[in-house]
Chains A and B, each alone.
Chain A
Amino acid sequence: MSTRLSGPERRQSILKEAQQLFAEKGFHGVSIDEIARAVSVSPAILYRHFDSKQSLYDAVLQELSSQRESYVDAVVNSDANFEEVLIGMTEVFIRSIDENPNLLRIEMQSLLDGNPATSEFFENRWKSFTDYINFSMNERLAYDVYNREITILSASLMFQGMVREALLQKYLQPQDRLVDISLTELSRELVTLFLRAIGIHESTLAQKDINPIQLNQHSS
């Protein structure tokens, strides 16, 4: 026998179960009946709150986007140099997945689902990083650098690939090699490697104990 919930409470419990199921099985892998069963209501009651699976799915995304991570702290609590802000942003981003790994699962599912709403939602999450890297590199990279545009584009792709893979390994792989690495360590190491790859050696972070590998081909 299901307990009586108020309208908003019922809606909330449907959203919660739906998020879980969409994360595990993807949009096409879940039926309305299955979600209704998980909430212990009839499909008819579920349809009172959401008129289709798509609208329920959109509401799940809407709810996830309202928990949007804020990068304000990363800017305000630093002297706003590229390296520190990028570290701060990466920490915030990784923490958002740590708090709710369903975000990562839904993102992975959506890559194959081809659902436009989801693609837009996740592209927008990564856009904070790609915008920031593009803009900052555009400001600091000399104008005569060979293949300048492609270099900048590749750098933001590299960053996204690197962070996403680390998150996949940490949160979705059953054998977790990264279990003992803290979020802070992970973001610092990834960002430090990234900075070194794009030729930033003089960062305040890299001063600690990084091997002085010189990748700069221009200076002899």
Chain B
Amino acid sequence: MSDFDSELDASGLNCPLPILRAKKAIAGLEGGQTLKIIATDPGSVKDFEAFCKQTGNELLSSGEEGGKFVFMIKKS
């Protein structure tokens, strides 16, 4: 059982692509569903915080795993 409904690998991509692809992925989710995002751009940490603040989606977690950044976003 996974704790997310959809996954997006944005490794190797610079902002704004991870944000843009996340926006599109979230648009395809139901309210309450969770998207996991993997990114390598260090700027993505601040970007996803700002993104969630502005869109009202909830940033459940933001962390680092094996040199990559992992975000969990719950659609509002």
Contact = CB atoms under 8 A, between A and B. Distances in A.
User: Which of B13, B20, B24, B47 has the largest count of A CB atoms less than 10 A from its CB?
Assistant: B20
Given A76-B51, A131-B13, A131-B14, A68 B20 contact: no
Contacts of A124: 14
B23 A132 contact: no
User: Which of A73, A75, A89 has its CB near the most chain B CB atoms (within 10 A)?
Assistant: A75
Contact of B20 (A70, A73, A80, A127): A80
A-side interface mostly = helix
Interface in B6-65: 13-17, 19-20, 23-24, 43, 46-47, 50-51, 54-55
Contact of A76 (B13, B17, B24, B54): B54
A173 to B, nearest CB: 29
Contacts of A74: 16
A76 B15 contact: no
A72 interface: yes
A189 to B, nearest CB: 21
B23 A80 contact: yes
Nearest to B16: A71
Interface size range on A against B:
10 to 19
A40 interface: no
A135 interface: yes
A75 B19 contact: yes
A74 B51 CA distance: 11
B14 A75 contact: no
A127 B14 contact: yes
Interface string A117-144: 0000000100110011001000000000
A71 B51 CA distance: 10
A128 B16 CA distance: 7
Given A80-B23, A80-B24, A85 B16 contact: yes
B16 A72 contact: yes
21 contacts: A68-B43, A68-B46, A70-B47, A70-B50, A71-B15, A71-B16, A72-B19, A72-B50, A72-B51, A72-B54, A73-B54, A75-B19, A80-B20, A80-B23, A128-B14, A128-B16, A131-B13, A131-B14, A132-B14, A132-B20, A135-B17
Interface of B: 13-17, 19-20, 23-24, 43, 46-47, 50-51, 54-55
List 6 A-B pairs, minimum CB-CB distance, nearest first.
Answer: A71-B16, A128-B14, A72-B50, A127-B14, A76-B54, A131-B14
